[in-house]
Chains A and B, each alone.
Chain A
């Protein structure tokens, strides 16, 4: 039993003891160049029974805003982009505009809107990465879970989640089973997860590879379903070494486009954009990954090394290595520097742009997140035990993607542009954890 500065308090929160744990945290995220910023408070509560039953619940809120790359290439001349404004068919007057946008009047379009409506137009300066500054969203999510021993089975459980933002909704359900073997030095587990998402983008669902426009689209939403499992083995190898090996499989079917993202069609000799099309991604995606985590306790140092290999049916493969080193200074304070290296290959339908005069491929996206790049994360965490029952911690991280902004086959003016729209971001995470009876 841990000793407490309060002397007579019961600070035993281990197995066989009924207790509750409250975790609260705040994430603040900011991208460089005035791009996305996010604030995310989270709250988790778990109630542990003495018999191994655990009830968990969580709440997450998100507020996200900022400029987002729209997928078009930069140009030596200024570019205009138009996108829907206000509600479907709205003709309400608009007195102002934000984020460098202007309001435009749309002529009636056969088959779409019977009357004139309003659209939003934003202009991107020459030699500048096209971004839409009108991006703003809020998200709320709730999760619930239950697990318990069942007869000879060490642990079975199920859970669910619901997440909603202005233009997206996700419902998920999961179940797991785990068995301890070999004096609880080995745990074998299987978890399955299913998710049902609905995308209702502002302006409706654009038809892939049609010209970007400000009209509201006739289709309001599309769905995506997901089914996956994780098979894992956790093994305590020695007094100091814990290892975990997971194999994951995941399958997604349905709408997987980013409805706001476009791709430029450029002139085959000058490289100047001649039109802007909505992107197009396949409806099906299967992915697999192998994840291997190692924790080594060389008191007062705790090393965590995690490796992951990922591969999917879109042609993307990635490698990830994460290392953290926790240094305990007595029982009241610790410092934990961390680093992460990540490298991915491009999806087989990733293109920086499409070339005019050639037939369009069935699928095309210029989303840098589907391109080839390397990302590095550096960070450090500081933790303070307030007493035997609670801990407060702060973690700061810097994240940077590096990619090829100057592909060898770039055409005309594109040779002088940086075509990689990767992310640089800083984040701060404040957390508080409290165990109580």
Chain B
């Protein structure tokens, strides 16, 4: 069960890390990345609310962050 997931993960991580010396903008090209909306957690309360609802209505949780929900709603 775990093997395909691990292969995907390791392949992705290898591509990212091995290629990182060549990939990515120069510091003076990060104007767009500096914008608030480009943060992966730009609106944490919104993400938390959505994840909380999905946790209480679906069998899957986690991925973006930790699994579970700290409540008895599932």
Contacts and interface: CB of A to CB of B under 8 A. Distances in A.
A25 B64 contact: no
Interface in A320-360: 320, 326, 328, 334, 342, 344, 347
A369 B73 CA distance: 11
A165 B59 CA distance: 21
A288 B62 CA distance: 9
A185 B23 contact: yes
A245 B12 contact: yes
A348 B63 CA distance: 22
Given A25-B45, A226-B68, A295-B38, A375 B17 contact: no
A246 B64 contact: yes
A248 B68 contact: no
Interface in B59-74: 59-68, 70-74
Interface in A159-196: 161, 163, 165, 167-168, 170, 172, 174, 181-183, 185-186, 188, 191, 193, 195
A285 B2 CA distance: 14
Interface in A184-211: 185-186, 188, 191, 193, 195, 197, 199
Interface in B28-68: 29-35, 37-38, 40, 43-46, 48-50, 52-54, 57-68
A425 B58 CA distance: 13
A427 B36 CA distance: 25
A275 interface: no
Contacts, number: 208
Nearest to B13: A233
Contacts of A291: 63-64
A425 B53 CA distance: 10
Contact of B57 (A141, A237, A397, A401): A401
Given A233-B16, A235-B20, A290-B8, A161 B70 contact: yes
A360 B7 CA distance: 39
Contacts of B12: 233, 245, 292
A186 B55 CA distance: 30
Contacts of B57: 369, 375, 399, 401, 423, 425
A371 to B, nearest CB: 9
Given A161-B70, A182-B21, A183-B27, A248 B58 contact: no
Interface residues of B, number: 54
Nearest to A60: B48
Given A42-B49, A181-B20, A237-B23, A375 B58 contact: yes
Contacts of A64: 73
Contacts of B71: 62, 139, 141, 163, 165, 168, 170
Contacts of A397: 50
B58 to A, nearest CB: 6
Contact of B5 (A165, A183, A288, A347): A288
Nearest to B31: A239
Interface of B: 1-2, 5-6, 8-9, 12-13, 16-17, 20-21, 23-27, 29-35, 37-38, 40, 43-46, 48-50, 52-54, 57-68, 70-74
Interface of A: 14, 23, 25, 27, 29, 40, 42, 44, 62, 64, 139, 141, 161, 163, 165, 167-168, 170, 172, 174, 181-183, 185-186, 188, 191, 193, 195, 197, 199, 226, 228, 230-231, 233-240, 242-248, 250, 252, 258, 287-293, 295, 297, 299, 302, 306, 308-314, 316, 318, 320, 326, 328, 334, 342, 344, 347, 369-370, 375, 381, 393, 395, 397, 399, 401, 423, 425, 427, 429, 431, 433
11 contacts: A165-B72, A186-B23, A226-B68, A228-B67, A243-B16, A289-B60, A314-B59, A320-B60, A369-B58, A427-B49, A431-B43
Given A42-B49, A233-B12, A369-B58, 15 more contacts: A23-B45, A62-B71, A139-B71, A165-B72, A185-B25, A193-B66, A226-B67, A233-B17, A239-B32, A293-B64, A295-B40, A297-B33, A344-B58, A375-B58, A423-B57
